[in-house]
């Protein structure tokens, strides 16, 4: 399967989006995926000139700026993001499968500009941020329809290196209730020798009164420790988002 999307803005003579995705599955149920995505982030639009301007109206901007100045400001605050990835998954047995992927992300630079009479410094490009992940997925290991996902990721960037380990578990308690415990551990060291370590356990509870409706409650505890050459800082945050989802 090959899928592609192209969005070209005639007014700005700019390519907003160019995306190509290809997927191939073998007779042994191994799946290979390739993705290339280049896009303006956010999509280039004249309304982007409103970012940080103190108004929500282009008409108001026209009182102090020309149309060309507004359009140039919209360009100046809209970066170009590139993303490419290659991945595969393959079954090892009826209960286990393994996967791996490599991903490249790059967000381009932005020039210096003036917004609402306030000079905004130029923003450098991120450079190539690479990530390499390996994932194992187990199903029906402890109970019927449960799943266990363990992911390890290595990050390499011009200004930092890091790694991430994630474990997710899904359990169907009844036909209406599911619980999803998880834990993440992230470690990062930057070029200034500042080290970040973050542990994030969580628990998501989902109740489905109907097959198309889900009520969700999520509890997340995040504990971070940042250590530099001069000091150490520990931060603890808790999150309790509650919401609902309707599938049409």
**What's the pLDDT tens digit per position in 81-95?**
999 999 999 999 999
CA-based angle 88:92:98, to the nearest 5?
A: 35
- 126 Cβ partners below 8 Å, 6+ apart? 105, 106, 107, 157, 158
Question: What pLDDT score does 175 carry?
Answer: 87
Question: What pLDDT score does 119 carry?
Answer: 87
The two tokens of residue 4 are 């592609």
Question: What pLDDT score does 116 carry?
Answer: 80
Comparing C-alpha atoms, which of 147, 168, 154, 145 is closest to residue 220?
168
Q: Which segments of the chain are extended strands (E)?
A: 2-9, 14-25, 31-41, 79-91, 96-107, 113-115, 118-120, 129-139, 147-156, 160-172, 177-190, 195-210, 213-227, 232-239, 242-246
Instruction: Report CA 230 to chain centroid distance, whole Å.
Output: 32
Question: What pLDDT score does 248 carry?
Answer: 81
Question: What pLDDT score does 149 carry?
Answer: 96
Q: What count of Cα atoms within 13 Å lies in the side-chain half-sphere of residue 172? A: 12
Q: Are strands 160-172 and 118-120 parallel, antiparallel or unpaired?
A: unpaired
Task: State the residue for tokens 């187990």.
Answer: 138
Per-residue model confidence as pLDDT tens for the chain (248 residues): 899 999 999 999 999 999 999 999 999 889 999 999 999 989 999 999 998 888 888 998 898 889 999 999 999 999 999 999 999 999 999 999 999 999 999 999 999 888 888 888 999 899 999 999 999 999 988 878 899 999 999 999 999 999 999 999 999 988 899 999 999 999 999 999 999 999 999 999 999 998 899 999 999 999 999 999 888 899 999 999 999 999 88
Exposed, middle or buried by CB within 10 Å (0-12, 13-18, 19+), for 106? middle
The rounded distance, in Å, linking the Cα atoms of 48 and 114 is 14
| Neighbouring C-beta atoms of residue 22, cutoff 10 Å | 14
* Local structure of 228: helix, strand or coil: coil
Answer for the pair 74, 49: CB distance below 8 angstroms, yes or no.
Answer: yes
Rounded to two decimals, what is the model's pTM? 0.82
Question: What pLDDT score does 53 carry?
Answer: 83
Q: What count of Cα atoms within 13 Å lies in the side-chain half-sphere of residue 140? A: 7
């Amino acid at each position: 399967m090959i899928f592609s999307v192209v969005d070209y803005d005639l007014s700005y003579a700019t390519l907003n989006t160019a995306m190509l995705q290809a997927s191939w599955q073998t007779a042994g149920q191994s799946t290979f995926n390739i993705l290339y995505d280049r896009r303006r982030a956010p999509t280039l639009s004249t309304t982007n000139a409103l970012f940080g301007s103190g108004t929500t109206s282009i008409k108001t901007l026209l009182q102090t700026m020309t149309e060309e100045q507004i359009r140039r400001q919209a360009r100046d605050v809209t970066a170009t993001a590139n993303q490419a990835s290659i991945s595969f998954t393959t079954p090892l047995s009826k209960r286990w499968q393994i996967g791996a992927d490599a991903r490249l992300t790059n967000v381009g630079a932005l020039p210096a500009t003036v917004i609402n009479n306030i000079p905004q410094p130029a923003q450098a490009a991120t450079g190539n941020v690479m990530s390499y992940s390996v994932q194992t997925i187990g199903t029906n290991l402890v109970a019927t329809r449960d799943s266990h996902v363990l992911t390890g990721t290595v990050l390499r960037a011009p200004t930092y290196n890091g790694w991430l380990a994630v474990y997710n578990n899904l359990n169907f308690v009844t036909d209406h209730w599911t619980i999803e415990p998880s834990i993440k551990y992230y470690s990062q060291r930057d070029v200034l020798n500042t080290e970040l370590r973050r542990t994030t356990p969580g628990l998501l509870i989902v109740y489905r009164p109907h097959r198309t409706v889900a009520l969700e409650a999520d509890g997340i505890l995040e504990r971070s420790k940042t250590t530099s050459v001069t000091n150490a800082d520990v931060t603890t945050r808790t999150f309790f988002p509650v919401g609902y989802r309707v599938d049409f």
